[in-house]
Amino acid sequence: MTLPSPSHHLTDALIQGYAAGTLPEAVNLIVASHVSLCDDCRAAVEAAETLGGALLETQDTAPLAENALDRAMAAIRGTAPEARPIRMPKSDPVIPAPLADYIGGSLDNVRWRPLGMGVKQAILDTTPEASARLLYIPAGVAVPDHSHNGLELTLVLQGAFSDEDGHFARGDIEVADDSVEHMPVADISEDCICLAVTDAPLRFNSFLPRLLQPIFRI
């Protein structure tokens, strides 16, 4: 069965930053994961990369030393590891390819940590400029009402959720900043799994989430 194309997409700034290779690791991860699920954004990234390549061709280049290639090849031969058989992990239909290495290839390998009300998270290992986490939200459950101190990107991997900005299903990405206040609610039909990335702590409106925020690193 062919799944519908995503209806919520990346911003131009995220596409250009991804094509230029200037995004933090966590942001790069969620953009790559969305691009793997969205033909429209994949085409936009390819167009941005083509434009960037064309601009580079117009720049002046510095001549290489005569033995530069020989020295580079010698370094590669001297440091190349011994070839070993490659064991491909079993693919998980929920997990986009760019995300697979971060969780051991499958949702079965994720070490979830409970947050309350059945909601769970798993923080992924990325550089400190931004944080990435998997979120598991049971069907019908709401995430506490919050705003943002920076950027929050949320990519739906399974199920769907709704909030003040609309309905987000598999492959959709929500881009929220400090102007957005919302309370995402998972659809009643299926548990929702998302990849979420933030570059600053969330701003919760109620006391208990604010109290627990340092413990759960959100």
Domains and CATH numbers, the chain: 12-57 (1.10.10.1320), 97-216 (2.60.120.10)
Tokens of 106: 């499958």
Beta-sheet strand order (sheet of 152-158): 113-116, 119-123, 131-137, 192-198, 152-158, 173-176
141-151: pLDDT as tens digits: 999 999 999 99
Report the pLDDT value the prediction gives residue 89, as an integer from 0 to 100.
Answer: 47
- The half-sphere exposure of 127 on its side-chain side, counting CA atoms within 13 A, is 8
Inter-CA distances, 133 with 20, 39, 60, 122, Å: 24, 24, 42, 5
Which pLDDT value is given to residue 213?
67
109-112 contacts at long range (C-beta below 8 A, 24 or more positions apart)? 110/134, 112/136
Per-residue pLDDT of the chain (218 residues; tens, 9 = 90+): 456 789 999 999 999 999 999 999 999 999 999 999 999 999 999 999 997 655 555 555 556 556 655 655 555 445 444 444 434 445 688 999 999 999 999 999 999 999 988 999 999 999 999 999 999 999 999 999 999 999 999 999 999 999 999 999 999 999 999 999 999 999 999 999 999 999 998 888 886 777 776 777 77
Amino acid at 173: I
- pTM equals 0.80
Kindly give the residue spans of alpha helices, DSSP state H, lying in 24-96.
25-37, 39-57, 68-79
pLDDT at 46: 94
What is the structure's pLDDT at 142?
A: 95
Say how many CA atoms lie within 13 Å of 60 toward its Cβ: 1
State residue 65's pLDDT score. Answer: 59
